[in-house]
């Protein structure tokens, strides 16, 4: 009787041990086998800044108005259903989902300047022009948008998603392009996560306020415009908006974009109150 009782106890203990082992094993297997959360799939928008004297961008004729991709704002795609001119606000956002606009969620935003600049420019001049452009946006917003502390590195490139907001020079292959800005954002959170912008080396860059060089492409002028994209604003193309910073065309000697106009201020303060 005692022998049978001992055997029963031992068998029960063995069953409990095996059961516990299986449950524990399942738990570990479940943890190991659990699919890792995928990194969010980011989307990218590229804004092209055009020189006024070049042919206007083409029509996509796909039923979608895409000025950020270079489509002419006078194209049929960019007209309303009644073929009337859309209301002119002179500011626009790069994307919106209901009331949630694309914007930076963590401020201030830092950037990295590539010191490899065209002949005739100095890296110090470029850094100062970009810093002054950033300060213009900061002046009008309660939170500081762009950090006063920026990096300098020859390694940063335009159009590379690498966690660095790059400011560079390069040769954009399309004729008539002054500068381009790429913005990456998370479509789930509506948060901008990175920007790069590039000044096209087809032009002679410098300070157009200098009486000695009034007809060059003004670096601070274009930098202020491109930083508007970096902050979340889109181009505007309507004729009445030609004086605002986010107007999509510029020319040699143009310095009006260095300072924000009322529509630019309304747009940026709407994003960052």
- As given in the structure block, the two tokens for residue 211 are 């009486």
Q: Of 54-58, 166-170, 179-183, give the lowest mean pLDDT range.
A: 54-58
Asked whether the beta carbons of 272 and 103 are under 8 A apart, the reply is yes
107 against 76, higher pLDDT: 107
Share of the chain above pLDDT 90, in %: 67
The least confident of 63-67, 136-140, 177-181 is: 63-67
Distances in Å between the Cα of 220 and the Cα atoms of 129, 145, 199, 227 are: 5, 17, 11, 10
**Inter-residue contact 138 to 144 (CB < 8 Å):** yes
Instruction: Say if residue 1's pLDDT is above 60.
Output: no
pLDDT confidence band for 85 (50 / 70 / 90): very low
- pLDDT at residue 84 above 70? no
Cβ-Cβ contacts under 8 Å for 214 (sequence gap 6 or more): 208, 253
Does residue 63 come out as left (phi exceeding 0), alpha (psi in the -120 to 50 range) or beta? left
Average pLDDT over every residue of 60-68: 74
Could you give the CA distance from residue 201 to residue 75 in angstroms, rounded to a whole number?
Answer: 29
Range with the poorest average pLDDT among 26-40, 48-62, 87-101, 132-146: 26-40
Q: What percent of the chain has pLDDT over 70?
A: 75
Q: What is the pLDDT of residues 97-147, one digit of tens each?
A: 667 899 999 999 999 999 999 999 999 999 999 999 999 999 999 999 999
**What's the pLDDT at 143?**
94
Using pLDDT thresholds of 50, 70 and 90, give the confidence band for residue 37: low
pLDDT reported for residue 34: 45
Over residues 184-197, the mean pLDDT reads: 96
**pLDDT above 80: residue 51:** yes
Separation of first and last alpha carbons in the chain: 84
Residues 6+ apart with CB under 8 A from 169: 114, 116, 117, 118, 198, 199, 200, 201, 205
Give the model's pLDDT for residue 20: 33
Predicted confidence at residue 28, as pLDDT, reads 38
DSSP state letter for 55: P
Structure tokens at 194: 């990175």
Query: Which tens digits make up the pLDDT trace of 156-176?
Result: 999 999 999 999 999 999 999
Q: Is the pLDDT of residue 9 over 50?
A: no
pLDDT band at 182 (very low <50, low <70, confident <90, very high): very high
Give CA–CA dist 99/168, Å, rounded.
33
């Amino acid at each position: 009787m005692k022998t049978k009782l001992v055997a029963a106890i031992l068998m029960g203990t063995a069953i409990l041990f095996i059961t516990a082992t299986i449950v524990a094993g399942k738990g570990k297997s479940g943890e190991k086998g659990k699919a890792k959360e995928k990194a969010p799939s980011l989307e990218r928008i590229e804004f092209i800044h055009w020189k006024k004297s070049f042919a206007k961008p083409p029509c996509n004729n796909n039923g979608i108005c895409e000025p950020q991709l270079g489509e002419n704002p006078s194209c049929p795609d960019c007209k309303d259903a009644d073929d009337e001119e859309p209301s002119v606000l002179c500011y626009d956002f790069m994307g919106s989902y209901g009331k949630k606009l694309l914007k930076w969620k963590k401020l201030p935003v830092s950037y990295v300047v590539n010191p490899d600049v065209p002949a005739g420019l100095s890296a110090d001049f470029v850094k100062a022009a970009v810093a002054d452009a950033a300060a213009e946006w900061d002046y009008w917003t309660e939170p500081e948008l762009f950090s006063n502390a920026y990096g300098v590195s020859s390694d940063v490139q335009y159009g590379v998603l690498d966690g660095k907001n790059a400011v560079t020079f390069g040769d954009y292959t399309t004729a008539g392009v002054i500068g381009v800005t790429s913005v990456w954002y998370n479509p789930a959170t509506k948060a901008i996560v990175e920007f790069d912008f590039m000044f096209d080396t087809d032009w002679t860059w410098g300070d157009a306020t200098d009486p000695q060089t009034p007809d060059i492409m003004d670096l601070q002028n274009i930098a202020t415009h491109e930083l508007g994209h970096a902050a979340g604003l889109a181009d505007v193309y309507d004729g009445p908006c030609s004086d605002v910073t986010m107007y999509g065309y510029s020319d040699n000697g143009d310095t009006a974009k260095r300072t924000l106009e009322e529509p630019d201020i309304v747009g940026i303060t709407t994003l960052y109150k």
